[in-house]
Structure 1
Amino acid sequence: MILELVDIRIHPGQQAAFDEAVQRGLSTIIGPFPGCRGWKVNKGIESAERYVVQIFWETLEDHTVRFRGSEAFAAWRAIVGPFFAQPPQVEHFEFVGKSEG
């Protein structure tokens, strides 16, 4: 499984609207997309305009080729893109280990 980590900075004062938009986009567009295994979204406490989105993909290509090359990507960006203060930073990670308990 691959973790896509997205660091998003939004325009000040848009947190409530972005909270709704990002969850709607994740649950209706990304979540049901083939290869997506789940997602999490967190917002900053010290930096109120910062969000960290975690999306779990079966393979790297499920995100970088299939999703990014689909109409679903354009639909996702139409929902969340207007809030971006700058382009999001996106990186991918492989699982190494976790704590027990």
Structure 2
Amino acid sequence: MILELADIRIQPGKQAEFDEAIVRGVQTVIAKARGFRGYKVQKGMESPERYVLMIFWETLENHTVDFRQSPAFAEWRAIVGPYFAAPPHVEHFTLLSKSD
């Protein structure tokens, strides 16, 4: 399983609107993508305009090819993109260790 981690910064004062938009976007668009296995969204406490979106994919290509190169990516960005203060920083991770 692959973890996509997106570090997102939004425009000040838009948190309530973005909270709704990111959940709606993941649940109605990304969740339908091939290889999607789940997600988590974390909100910044010290930096209220910062969000960390974690999406779990079966393979790296499920994100980078199947989703990013599909019309669904444009649909997702239309929902959340208007709130971005800057493009999100996205990286991918594999699991090294975890607790039970």
TM-score range, shorter chain: over 0.9
Shift of 1:93: 0.1
- The two structures, once aligned, show a CA RMSD in angstroms of 0.5
CA deviations on 1:6-40 (whole Å, 9 max, x unpaired) are 00000000000000000000001001211000000
Give structure 2 stretches of 5+ with no counterpart.
none
Give structure 1 stretches of 5+ with no counterpart.
none
What TM-score do you get using the length of structure 2 for normalisation? 0.98
Structure 1 residues 29-38 or 45-54, which shifts more? 29-38
The residue type equivalent to 2:19 in the other structure is D
Tell me the percent identity.
67
> SS of 2:54's equivalent?
strand
Runs of 4+ in 1 over 4 A off after TM superposition: none
Corresponding residue for residue 97 of structure 2? 97
Corresponding residue for residue 48 of structure 1? 48
What TM-score do you get using the length of structure 1 for normalisation? 0.97
Matched ranges for 1:49-88 at <5 A: 49-88=49-88
Shift of 1:83: 0.3
Q: How many matched pairs?
A: 100
